[in-house]
Structure 1
Amino acid sequence: MSLSYDQLTKQDFEQLNTDLIGRDSLDVLRYAANEFKGKLVYACSFGAEAMVLLDLLSKVQKNAQILFLDTDFHFTETYQLIEQVKKRYPSFQINMAKPSLTPEEQRLQFGDRLWERNPDQCCQLRKLDVLERELQPYHAWLSGLRRQQSPTRATTQFINQDHRFKKIKVCPLIHWTEEEIWMYIELHQLPYNKLHDQQYPSIGCTYCTSPVAAGGDERSGRWSGSGKTECGLHAPIKGDES
């Protein structure tokens, strides 16, 4: 039986990360694949980091479970990329998980353009609630978070206590730089979202994603002008600092 969130203390997580010091991303993926087996899922955004992590994952778990939060509001380019990934990695099991409300049902219940009036609630309905539902069968989930991406991600470890979803969150790419991500994509000729070539370093839903000026923070194009930089999937909550 694989480890679960409820079985581990803060000290256990510290020891797991101590044991992984000096190991590379493939080692972390091998550990996760062996430890959690069928209880591991990759919640994939299909961003640049995701393409690297998918390729690495294919080397250690060809039939991995991949979860995409299909908000119904993604760019056409994102859906096109997913089709490319399906062809390149045919053994992956990709689950296109949708919210319980269709866009029209959300409009009728919460009003027009909820993403403008209350982006946190929109993310809750179309992302957080979906991930919570889809993570239920699993003990752990993979994420492509990098420490360099933002201050809220700067202390991310390989193995993390996810207090929000009561799961173990595994982040194999924490030490990678943006330059290294793109070097890997180019070296291995990986497909990627073409919006990255149009100054979209971070890509989410169409209504809440904007291009970023050269040299700008890579998260500044998400929910621009609202002060919001995280959908909530990875935002720290009470307990994360303990």
Structure 2
Amino acid sequence: MKSLQEKLEHTLDLLRSIRDAHLPGETALAWTGGKDSTALLALWREAAPEHNLAINIDTGCKFPEVLAFRDRMAREWDVRLHIAKPLPEDCPAQIAADKIACCRAMKVAPLRRALSELGVRALLTGVRADENPERAHMREREEREGYVQFNPLLDWTEMDVWAFTVARGLPYCELYDRGYRSLGCVPCTLPSGAGQGERGGRDSEKEARMAELHALGYF
């Protein structure tokens, strides 16, 4: 098993290769405001400071604490932040009633629209393989429709991310101190209960259908 230092060096090597292969305007980091994508943003700033575009998907159902953290860090870290929102006509009449339809309209469609409008050719995500059984099948480099998705933290664990965050003194959203271990939309996110896994507070139906969401373009 690789040490965190070995994973860190591999991730930085991958990030530098992405930087060298793409112009600044062609790359973007999918930044949720969560611990994983914030750790990745810190590494991306180190490896490619001129590549400062980040895309945040704001479904209109996000925790206000996450949005406040996102806006504060965007200012402090000089992030070129593009906020992607669903079109009013795309929003379902009842949020989260149909998990797949809701995520497709509220997350996937705004992301695809943003990538097309911005001309992004490479998208970086903070996805980790140990979050969900479906994500264990993902690869560091994935060809998507119109762009390439890179998952530089794929082999990192939850503890790796927290160890890196603490060691670097990185900021993180206050919700983690209130029992949340994974942050999503308000209707589909609760604090993780005792004995539950990292995503134990996330909607169980959505977690079980992650393969369908991934096929649609959900990261």
Give the alignment's TM-score, normalised by structure 1. 0.77
Q: Does 1:58 align with 2:39?
A: no
* SS of aligned partner of 2:215: coil
* SS of aligned partner of 1:141: strand
What RMSD, in angstroms, separates the aligned Cα atoms of the two structures?
Answer: 2.5
Which of 52, 76, 80 is the aligned partner of 1:88?
Answer: 76
Do the aligned partners of residues 114 and 229 (structure 1) sit closer, same or farther apart at CA in structure 2, a change above 3 Å counting?
same
CA contact (8 A) 1:220 1:229 kept: no
Do the aligned partners of residues 30 and 218 (structure 1) sit closer, same or farther apart at CA in structure 2, a change above 3 Å counting?
same
Which of 99, 102, 110 is the aligned partner of 1:130?
Answer: 110
Could you list the runs of 4 or more consecutive aligned residues of structure 1 that deviate by over 6 angstroms after TM superposition?
230-234
Query: Which residue number in structure 2 is paired with residue 215 of structure 1?
Result: 195
Do the aligned partners of residues 205 and 126 (structure 1) sit closer, same or farther apart at CA in structure 2, a change above 3 Å counting?
same
> Counterparts of 2:188 and 2:82 in 1: how far apart (Å)?
23
The answer for unaligned runs of 5 or more in structure 1 is 1-20
Q: Percent identity?
A: 27
Do the aligned partners of residues 230 and 70 (structure 1) sit closer, same or farther apart at CA in structure 2, a change above 3 Å counting?
farther
CA contact (8 A) 2:28 2:120 kept: yes
Query: Which residue number in structure 1 is paired with residue 55 of structure 2?
Result: 67
CA contact (8 A) 1:152 1:235 kept: no
Bigger helix fraction: 2
CA contact (8 A) 1:128 1:233 kept: no
> Counterparts of 1:127 and 1:231 in 2: how far apart (Å)?
15
> Counterparts of 2:81 and 2:211 in 1: how far apart (Å)?
19
Which of 140, 143, 162 is the aligned partner of 1:158?
Answer: 140
Do the aligned partners of residues 31 and 96 (structure 1) sit closer, same or farther apart at CA in structure 2, a change above 3 Å counting?
same
CA contact (8 A) 2:62 2:185 kept: yes
How many residues are paired up?
206
Q: Does 1:139 align with 2:121?
A: yes
> Counterparts of 2:164 and 2:60 in 1: how far apart (Å)?
30
